[in-house]
Structure formats: structure tokens, C-alpha cells
Amino acid sequence: MQTEPVLTETKKSSFGIVTVLMIVALLAAIGLGVWGFMLNNDIKVSQSAYADLKSKHEALTKEKNTVSADLETAKTSLDTAKKDLEKAKKDLADQQAALTKVQDEMTKLKANADKAVKYMEVMIAYWVDDAGPDKVSDLVKAIGDADLTKSYEAYRADDNKFSDWVKYVFVTMSELLATK
């Protein structure tokens, strides 16, 4: 009668510990299973995101390579255009310099021709129009050639100087009209 209760307590105690351990192990297994499942889902999400991003990365790399190639082409075109512009600017500068030179020559020749006409008008007045000495003198002075004036005045003072005056007029006239 005294032995039986002792056996029952031992049996109950062993049952309780094992049961508790069993429950703990079961809960742990369930918990770890749930955690593992959740982690696995996260891995799938992460891998999916990685795959998406990798795809985007590849597309972006392709796009970047295209832009890079376009940039290289544009830079080459710009370099060529800059060289063309430099050449065009140089051509323009050369052309403008040539134009200025021709314009200067034209201006000089026109001035010479106009001056030559003034010398001719003096001789027309003298030989054709029979203008008086004073009129001729005015025309001579109007030209503004000191040597011509001096030569004419010398002729007025001495008729023998006529040839010198006319010679001076025609040589000067002829030199003014010389184009070479």
C-alpha cells in the first residue's frame, strides 16, 4: 500500500517533463518552420527583385552604351564641324582681305583717274576753250599740285617754259593713268 503512490508520482512527473519537452520541441519546430517559410518567401521576393533589377540593369547598360556611342559620334561630328568652321573662317578672312585689297586698288585707281581728268580739263580749257590765263591758273591751282602750279607760273612768266609745263602735265597725266 505504501509503494503504489510513490510509483504513481514518478510516472506523473516523468510524463509531465517529457510532455513539456515534447510541446516545447513541437512549438520550436513549428516556429522554426514558419520562420523558414517566411524567409523562403523573402528569398523568393528578393530573388525576383534581383532578377527584375538585373533585367533593368542590362537594359540600362544597353541604353548607356547607345548614348555613349551617340556621344562619340556627336563628338566626332563636332570636331569635324569645328575644323570646317575654322576653315570657313579662314577662307572668309582671306576673301575679305583680298576684297579689301581690290577695293583699295579700285579706290586708288579711281582717285588717279579723277585727278588725271582734272589735268586734262586744264589742257581742254587752254587749247580748246581758249580760257584766259587766270581761268587756267584757277584750274591749275584747284588740282593742288605745287609742282604743276610752279611750272604753270614759270610758263606765264616766260613763254619758253611752255613745253616744260605741257610736258609736266602730260607725263603726270600719263603716270596717273598707268595701271601696271
- For the segment 138-177, give every residue that binds another protein (CB under 8 A): 163, 166-167, 170-171, 173-174, 177
Please give the grid coordinates belonging to residue 136. Answer: 587756267
Nearest distance in Å: CB 10, another protein: 8
Nearest distance in Å: CB 177, another protein: 4
Asked whether position 46 contacts another protein by CB under 8 A, the answer is yes
Asked whether position 132 contacts another protein by CB under 8 A, the answer is no
Instruction: Check: CB of residue 102 under 8 Å from CB of residue 165.
Output: no
**Among residues 103 and 144, whose Cβ is nearest to another protein?**
103
Running DSSP on this structure, what letter comes out for residue 160?
Answer: G
Asked whether position 115 contacts another protein by CB under 8 A, the answer is no
Instruction: Check: CB of residue 152 under 8 Å from CB of residue 144.
Output: no
Identify residue 114 by its one-letter amino acid code.
D
Please give the grid coordinates belonging to residue 81. Answer: 564641324
Asked whether position 74 contacts another protein by CB under 8 A, the answer is yes
Residue 130's alpha-carbon distances to 6, 115, 122, 137, 141, in angstroms, are 175, 21, 11, 13, 18
Please give the grid coordinates belonging to residue 115. Answer: 585727278
Asked whether position 11 contacts another protein by CB under 8 A, the answer is yes
Distance CA 108, CA 76 (A): 47
**Among residues 150 and 167, whose Cβ is nearest to another protein?**
167
Instruction: Check: CB of residue 157 under 8 Å from CB of residue 93.
Output: no
Q: Which stretch binds another protein (CB under 8 A): 106-114, 133-141, 142-150, 152-160?
A: 106-114
Judged by CB under 8 A, the residue of 32, 111, 132, 158 near another protein is 32
**Among residues 77 and 144, whose Cβ is nearest to another protein?**
77
Distance CA 140, CA 43 (A): 113
Q: Which stretch binds another protein (CB under 8 A): 3-11, 131-139, 141-149, 152-160?
A: 3-11
